[in-house]
Structure 1
């Protein structure tokens, strides 16, 4: 049986009653479950490294520098985590609204750890959007081809209202009243049709076991209806170029299906 510091065990006994603590594979590994001011459940994983030495091993939230710090007590870790979580209330709210009212194509199983969403506008066009810790939108761009959607997005940037929610801005920018299968009773028609799941034209799979992401409508040719995993297309273009490292991390070449010029970056596979 492993030797555990008595002060460590005593500290566990006196942790706030509102925090649920579970041991991991060893007594030195802890999982703490807390609830924020909106009654959302959050997990933080802690490792006891020695007397007054605690480190955070995993948090189901986007990475932040405080995860690399060393702490003197379990309560110090928990209080730091609680304060941080409560400061993310706008971030959580925006993601929840996007997941509730929009047709999410990626991530396949959205969580608070994923600070981005890829939203279907139609069967061939997705909107990529990221959410900052304070709940603002950033790095917004289209995936797929559509001059109409692109024109609306460019005009929408000029009219984007930071006092409104991200969902309200998306609806206003693209003149959308509803997304299919997402509480259509709340909005009037017309609604965006939810596209069917597609397979990658290179690997012929929908999902890859070791890489995130689903096939996307990357080709800009309006007559090309194929989808690719970003990682598959990236490797294909890299191999077609003789394995030379692409400039600025962006692989370019021809679409494997229609030969239309195409480009992709692994950064898009976020």
Structure 2
């Protein structure tokens, strides 16, 4: 096995000098072999970013590569005379361009009932919005043009989502970049948008499924109207009251030999308290 020679002392001196130009207080990590390092960057709105920089073996003749928790990464302008401070400067300019995108995402999180992600990363450009009546809207925001009409997908019973989808297509031309996001959305859908429940309203809180231990099902076409859904079945035993996704409970009952079926209904026992439970063998797709 070939052993890689350590970088020359001159490269260590050069990298240390370049870190000094950026500021040692911003350095988060530096690999012993100088293969990579990372800086903590705070943008003008106070968001904290970790800028990962990977250095090629022939640095600085070849351009480093960078990564960060942002929706898309900038292309570096690089020459053999460039230094780490030039990377940080370009990344800061990139963060400035993304401020409108993050402002849009913050506006969505404040004004709409966002189901997930609950703790979005700086790179997350999608939101799943609760429209009420077991209907959800999956929004995908263009990070390059966040004020434009977003891409969307409706999730829920066909009887509910079909009129909303028709309204979306009919009213798409009315989307205005200078209007608030929730106002635009209400205009397109011709629908009153529900507000997120307050933290103190425990009746509105959702819980994890007692079988898959997840709060939401995956967003998947194969799940039909259940895609992205939260637990929708609760054990009727008041001392148990365990919540389940119907699809999870159905699959679990099918795996138990004591489960009985009558027509399109499965009858069995709660996995936690053994009280009777019953679910249909399939759900509307």
Q: Say if 1:46 and 1:54, in contact at 8 Å, map to a contact too.
A: no
Q: 1:21 aligns with which of 3, 27, 39?
A: 27
- SS of match in other structure, 1:142: strand
When the two structures are superposed, what TM-score results if normalisation uses the length of structure 1? 0.64
Whole-Å separation in 1 of the counterparts to 2:206 and 2:95: 35
Could you say if the C-alpha distance between residues 183 and 102 of structure 1 is closer, same or farther in structure 2, counting changes exceeding 3 Å?
A: farther
**Where does residue 143 of structure 1 map in the other structure?**
155
Q: Which whole-Å deviations, capped at 9, do the CAs of 1:71-123 have from their partners, x for residues lacking one? A: 74212211221111101111000111222233322224311111111112236
Whole-Å separation in 1 of the counterparts to 2:199 and 2:110: 6
Q: Say if 1:199 and 1:228, in contact at 8 Å, map to a contact too.
A: no
Q: Which whole-Å deviations, capped at 9, do the CAs of 1:162-183 have from their partners, x for residues lacking one? A: 3223233234432126222289
Counterparts in 2 of 1:95-244, with a 5 A limit? 95-122=105-132, 124-133=134-143, 134-136=145-147, 137-157=149-169, 158=171, 159-172=174-187, 173=189, 174-176=191-193, 178-181=195-198, 194=204, 196-197=206-207, 199=209, 204-207=211-214, 214-215=217-218, 218-220=223-225, 226=245
- SS of match in other structure, 1:179: coil
Q: Say if 1:117 and 1:129, in contact at 8 Å, map to a contact too.
A: yes
Deviation at 1:22, TM superposition (A): 1.9
Deviation at 1:16, TM superposition (A): 6.0
Q: Say if 2:138 and 2:154, in contact at 8 Å, map to a contact too.
A: yes
**Where does residue 81 of structure 1 map in the other structure?**
91
**Count of equivalent residues:** 216
When the two structures are superposed, what TM-score results if normalisation uses the length of structure 2? 0.61
Q: 1:51 aligns with which of 46, 59, 64?
A: 59
**2:85 is equivalent to residue 61 of structure 1:** no
Q: Which has the higher strand share?
A: 1
Deviation at 1:130, TM superposition (A): 1.0
Choose 1 or 2 for highest CA Rg. Answer: 2
Q: Say if 2:141 and 2:150, in contact at 8 Å, map to a contact too.
A: yes
Whole-Å separation in 1 of the counterparts to 2:113 and 2:194: 13
Counterparts in 2 of 1:28-43, with a 5 A limit? 28=34, 29-43=36-50
Could you say if the C-alpha distance between residues 165 and 182 of structure 1 is closer, same or farther in structure 2, counting changes exceeding 3 Å?
A: farther
Alignment gaps of 5+ in structure 1:
185-192, 233-255, 263-270
Whole-Å separation in 1 of the counterparts to 2:205 and 2:53: 41
Q: 2:282 aligns with which of 245, 258, 262?
A: 258
Q: What RMSD over aligned residues (CA atoms) do the two structures have, in Å? A: 3.8
